[in-house]
Amino acid sequence: MASFDRPSPMRATMNAHNANVNANANANANARAHGESAHASATTLRRATTTHKVVFFDCDDALYKNEWKTANDITKKIESFTVRELGLAPGRAYELYKKYGTCLKGLQEEGLLEESRLEEFLTYAHDVPHEEHIKRDEALRAMLLRMKTPKWVFTASARHHAQRCLELLGVDDLFEGIIDVRAVGWYTKHDARAYRAAMDIAGVSDPSDCIFLDDSVSNLKAARAVGWTNVLVGTHARDTGEEIVTEHADHIIATVHEFEALCRAHGYDHFHVEDAIEVENAVHA
């Protein structure tokens, strides 16, 4: 595989299905601590080509990263709605988010939002200046174009918001579709039923056919419980800024752009090989 001739950009690679996961994780941590790439460990973990039939990408803070600027804008809008429109105490919205996975789910579970106001809530919450903090991403577009596996956006948010993000990134024409919270029966990505609904929509029945990229460790934990392979996108926590250490991720990459190298290192057959050789030649030219 051509990309093996150059240092891998992966920050960490963990395969929890491997009996040596702890040893490998430690090796990767040590490599990072010494400023080395995880290339050697990735080679050790390399296995026979695996073909997932579907790749699911989370949208916010996964397909793009902007230091949570858009997330913070949305958080402010949700706080504003819950305080002004629903009469909740300041900070209650965030508590619900932490407890239920999304504030919306908390509002629904605790009977704080009438069903007739769901659309109003979703429209208000996502009425943020997307264009200020989400820019066209040619590298992402090029990577997605090199993929041969069907790919879906799978978000616990609303379709119109994800669509706006994809348009700004310049990749809205490259997915099979957007699976949003409505499409999975309002279940969050903390709930196995959301993953099963997503599989139904994508037309697969075997969880091992699915690989999933998301920036939320709790989402990854739920996805793995269902049987999906998972990839954590992001190395540092939103709340604390500290490096994320977790046993719930099969792989960790800093940004979505590292997914291609990850796949090539682990024999995940999602990219056209000819393109890899072209990319390699371009790199060495």
Q: Where on the chain is the footprint of Mg ion (CB under 5 A)?
A: 58, 60-62, 215
CB of 180 to Mg ion, least distance (A): 13
Asked if 250 contacts 226 with a C-beta cutoff of 8 angstroms, the reply is no
CB of 284 to Mg ion, least distance (A): 35
CB contact set of 229 (below 8 Å; sequence gap of 6+): 52, 208, 210, 211, 212, 250
Closest CB to Mg ion among 61 and 209? 61
Residue 184: which of 155, 216, 227 has the closest Cα?
155
CB of 68 to Mg ion, least distance (A): 10
Tokens of 93: 């919205």
Taking CB atoms, the residue at the shortest distance from Mg ion is 60
Closest CB to Mg ion among 31 and 59? 59
Neighbour tally for 125: CB within 10 Å: 25
CB of 103 to Mg ion, least distance (A): 14
Closest CB to Mg ion among 63 and 93? 63
Closest CB to Mg ion among 3 and 75? 75
CB of 153 to Mg ion, least distance (A): 11
Q: How far is CA 100 from CA 80, 94, 134, 183, 251, in A?
A: 19, 10, 27, 18, 25
Closest CB to Mg ion among 62 and 261? 62
Closest CB to Mg ion among 38 and 137? 137
Residue 76: which of 26, 126, 10, 122 has the closest Cα?
126
Task: Look at the block and give the residue holding tokens 């091992």.
Answer: 208
CB of 71 to Mg ion, least distance (A): 8
